[in-house]
Chains A and B, each alone.
Chain A
């Protein structure tokens, strides 16, 4: 398999198939991060598209010294997720009832929800509901560490915070998530 760096060089020369390969290789990572953060399939698709649009426009600014391409891509995704969170904050505050149980609404929704066809287990859905009840800072830390399986230095790069803070957030996020799941009657085996 051609390394990401070579694909990027080809993309910068205007090679369409190289860009297609890059998109297909990393769509899953971006989509999963977006879905786990938003808990909404349609929003995750829109955000994934937005991420790749931004990457397409700013690919020339990527330098390998900043880290591996997946880490850079995760940073771009995370920044867009923060923007998305800010944009939708007003909606969440206004719609306080839905905000109290956002995932219940999502669970019964729609055709576009990927859960109906793709989400593997009931635990995965319950976990998604639990994640939605964490603060954004704790949520992103847990997602990056336990679902995206980034190491601490990668997370530090993505979040632009000291490694100690990364560990602290992961720690608090896990404890909070375990407590939330217990309140929901879920007990991880």
Chain B
């Protein structure tokens, strides 16, 4: 005999419907009412989704100290059997994303430092860990880095231009004419005449010009030598 389903009946039998224990006639009446009542259809959908979602929720983890606390309260403070576990309680604290990111950053920093200062190209031996060896390696690495930097700066065109202007320049730069008596196979302009040579320093031989300027500067500013000092009264 068909039941007269209404909103109240639908609400009362909802759990039976979800459990699948309605008789075929009841299920037909339930479905028919649900199809014609938007409010009941929504309620059934909401509760059905809620129940399935609740059943998927994982139980909460128990705080690590709770079983120990219960055992202490029931059996009394026990001997060292469980105490070693407490030494590792800090693992639970640092085992969090924020600390994990920090640890990863520190590890990456150490990796970069090691890569920069560790002996490269050979196996690390105990001797490499000697503080003196570490200092020596770091010192060498620092000098190499500095030398590379200096070379890079010197190779810059703008630096060359500045050096060329600051250094002692010839009064007039003349294009190099054909050398009268080429002595060597060096392609740079050269002459046996020192005067002519000084006039013919081209921009391409900037190192020579630069070193000459530095030498002149050093000569002008050098300390008086001992013999001069001693000759003074």
Contacts and interface: CB of A to CB of B under 8 A. Distances in A.
A171 B46 contact: no
A56 B74 contact: yes
Interface in B72-95: 73-75, 78, 92
Contacts of A142: 54
Mostly helix, strand, loop or mixed at chain A's interface? helix
B136 interface: no
B73 A49 contact: yes
Nearest to B43: A175
Interface residues of A, number: 45
A189 B53 contact: yes
Interface stretch (B59-67, B158-166, B194-202, B216-224): B59-67
A27 B54 contact: no
Interface stretch (B8-16, B28-36, B100-108): B8-16
Interface string A100-135: 000000000000001001111101100100000000
A117 B96 contact: yes
Of B58, B63, B70, most A-chain CB atoms within 10 Å: B70
B57 A27 contact: no
A183 to B, nearest CB: 12
Contact of A177 (B14, B50, B59, B61): B50
B51 interface: yes
B51 A146 contact: yes
A174 B50 contact: yes
Given A23-B70, A171-B14, 10 more contacts: A23-B71, A28-B61, A32-B59, A32-B60, A41-B63, A48-B70, A147-B54, A149-B55, A174-B47, A179-B46
